[in-house]
Amino acid sequence: MTSLDIQLLLTALVSVLVLVALIVSRIKLHPLLALLIVSVGVGFATGMDPETIVKQLTNGAGKTLGAVGVVIALGAMLGKILADAGITEQIAEAILRHSSDRMIPWAMTLVAFIVGIPMFFEVGLVVMLPLIFSVARKLEGQARFKGSAYVYVGVPVISALAAMHGMVPPHPGPLTAIATLKTTVGPTMLYGFLAAIPAMVLGGPLYGAFIAPRMSTKPDQALLDQFTITEKATAGQQPSIALGVLAALLPAILMLIHAVAEMLLPKDAAAMHVASFLGNPLIAMLLGVLFAIVALVMARGGDTEKLRDALGKSLKPIASIIMIIAGGGAFQQMLTSAKVGDAIVHLTQQFAFPPLILGWLIAMLLSVSTGSATVGIVGAAGLLAPLAGADPSLNLPLLALSIGCGSLFFNYANHAGFWMVKESFGMTMGEATKTISVVQSIVAVVGLIMVLLFNALVTVH
């Protein structure tokens, strides 16, 4: 390691500490302002000129808004339509009616597991938020429930979505590792599913049951009111629950079709191009909103002017969330552009670890330091690709899975997902750390344990 590497690592560490201090100290700075200030500080501390700093800030924020912000806005619209139509209420009542209080987290884990197969973490969370809030709000009304119902219901969803996102193709992280290491999708997917089950159980229902009684988290009232309804519509006014579920899951279905097409069709096939377009998160969410408008409002003679006003109002409670996530994207871009990732790679080269552990460790360090799971996966897979090609005894699907697991560890203040969970649930920095950061760490560590177990079993046989 060089002195520059040490300087970069210290800069990354200090920047996170300063960020947290600006938000939680007496200054109580708004997270967006804190993120932008720290991002500029990182730029100057790593020798960037002012023009480059501004360029990286706008690129990072703009890229995140394009990839996540518009999808969140569309998800808020879809959630508002489902809530106003009574669909979310019906699904929540069905879950509560068929599940005891202890079984609700398990039911939510199953729903998130299914939704998370094709959906990115942030997109899946946007789709699940109305259901989380509806179930938790009803559960909260029961006098016997102690603690935060929103954490109790939300943690299993976060765990399941994170596990699927990092471990199971066709998510971009695992697919990137598979392509770089020149291995195959089938075995990696099988290992990923098997590893995800204990990971999301320990990080979800079990950890959620432990932490929820110790927290009092409750989302902002405006966001709660948007995604839930307080007055029941009469039975004749409500669409069928089957139609509502189809509207809610249509984006996931389109993304799943795209994922299957990627595995079965050649890249230049016409059907592949169609599936790729329809399965893009932005297009899939747009089609989901349009389908919900037609099927749940217009087809039932709904007032379109009232709908327009409702959709406009649905964006107000999430505007702050979207902008904070954009600030997180700027911070992430600044750390990545400063070559903090290269310093992490140089650090890991100082130690000798077995390949499966080394892949997890490099992906973890890159993800934590740069705020990007993708950077962690690409860096780790690229670094270990020569070793993967030279060692025929190395189980490449397990190596790809190990790298994917490592990229999940300790999602924190330079990750967009952290801010999305924090702001959506109305959490403090500490509460968000106890939830998404710890949950994803549990998932990442359990995933590594499962990788090592699978490797030992395969080696024995």
* pLDDT for 145: 84
What pLDDT is recorded for position 23? 93
Report d(CA 363, CA 403) in Å as an integer: 6
Cβ burial of 240 (10 Å; 0-12, 13-18, 19+) is: exposed
Answer for the pair 270, 112: CB distance below 8 angstroms, yes or no.
no
Are 327 and 319 contacting, i.e. CB atoms less than 8 angstroms apart? Answer: no
Measured N-to-C along each axis, helices 70-84 and 121-140 cross at an angle, to the nearest 10 degrees, of 30
List the alpha helices (DSSP H) in 293-303: none
**Nearest CA among 8, 14, 35 for reference residue 331:** 35
Percent of residues, the chain, with pLDDT higher than 70? 98
Indicate if the pLDDT at residue 372 is higher than 80.
yes
324-363 pLDDT, tens digit each: 999 999 999 999 999 998 898 888 888 888 999 999 999 9
Q: How far apart are CA 229 and CA 83, in angstroms?
A: 6
Instruction: Indicate if the pLDDT at residue 112 is higher than 90.
Output: yes
As a 3-state breakdown, the chain gives helix, strand, coil percent values, each rounded to 5, of 80, 0, 20
The rounded distance, in Å, linking the Cα atoms of 259 and 194 is 19
Query: What six digits make up the tokens of 5?
Result: 């590497």
The CA distance from 152 to 138, in Å, is: 12
**pLDDT at 237 exceeding the cut of 70:** no
Burial class (CB in 10 A: 0-12, 13-18, 19+), 101: middle
132 closest CA partner among 158, 113, 164, 114: 158
170: preceding bond cis by omega (within 30 degrees): yes
Q: Which stretch of 16-30, 140-154, 168-182, 232-246 has the lowest confidence by average pLDDT?
A: 232-246
Tokens describing residue 310? 């409702």
- Rounded Cα distance between 102 and 439, Å, is 19
Residue 234 in this model has a pLDDT that exceeds 60: no
What DSSP designation does 327 have? Answer: H
pLDDT value of position 446: 98
In a 10 Å sphere around its CB, with 0-12 CB exposed, 13-18 middle and 19+ buried, how is residue 89 labelled?
buried
pLDDT tens for residues 15-43? 999 999 999 888 889 999 999 999 999 99
Two structure tokens written together for 224: 């709660």
- What residue segments make up the domains of the chain, in order of their start? 3-458
**Neighbour-count burial for 160-171, b at 16+ CB within 10 Å, e otherwise:** bbbbbbbbbbbb
Task: Residue 399: name the closest of 193, 190, 171, 188 by CA.
Answer: 188
Which stretches of 76-174 are assigned E, i.e. beta strand? none
Report the pLDDT value the prediction gives residue 420, as an integer from 0 to 100: 94
User: Which residue is listed with tokens 């400063």?
Assistant: 338
Q: What is the pLDDT of residue 229?
A: 66
Which range of 92-96, 99-103, 201-205 scores highest in mean pLDDT? It is 201-205
Residues 6+ apart with CB under 8 A from 441: 408, 409, 410
Q: Which two tokens stand for residue 399?
A: 């190596």
Contact 130, 196 (CB under 8 A): no
Q: Which phi and psi angles does 142 have, rounded to 5°? A: -85, 125
361 Cβ contact list (under 8 Å, min separation 6)? 348, 353, 406
Give Rg (Cα) of the chain.
22
Q: Could you tell me which residues come within 8 angstroms of residue 350 by beta carbon, excluding any fewer than 6 positions away?
A: 1
Q: List the end-to-end C-alpha distance of the chain, in Å, as a whole number.
A: 40
**Sign (positive or negative) of CA dihedral 250, 197, 151, 123:** negative
Q: Write the pLDDT tens digit of every residue in 411-439.
A: 899 898 999 999 999 999 999 999 999 99
Q: Running DSSP on this structure, what letter comes out for residue 233?
A: P
> Residue 230 — pLDDT band, cuts 50, 70, 90?
very low
What pLDDT, on a 0 to 100 scale, did the predictor assign at position 461? 62
Per residue in 303-335, pLDDT tens? Answer: 999 999 999 999 998 899 999 999 999 999 999
Rounded mean pLDDT of the chain? 91
Task: Check residue 231 and give its pLDDT.
Answer: 46
pLDDT by residue (tens digit) across 246-290?
998 999 899 889 888 888 889 899 999 999 999 998 999 999 999
Question: Are 426 and 142 a contacting pair, CB within 8 Å?
Answer: no
Q: Give residue-wise pLDDT tens across range 114-151.
A: 889 888 898 889 989 999 999 999 998 876 788 999 99
Taking CA atoms, 223 is separated from 215, 227, 228, 320, in Å, by 19, 6, 9, 11
With cut-offs at 50, 70 and 90, classify the pLDDT of residue 181: very high
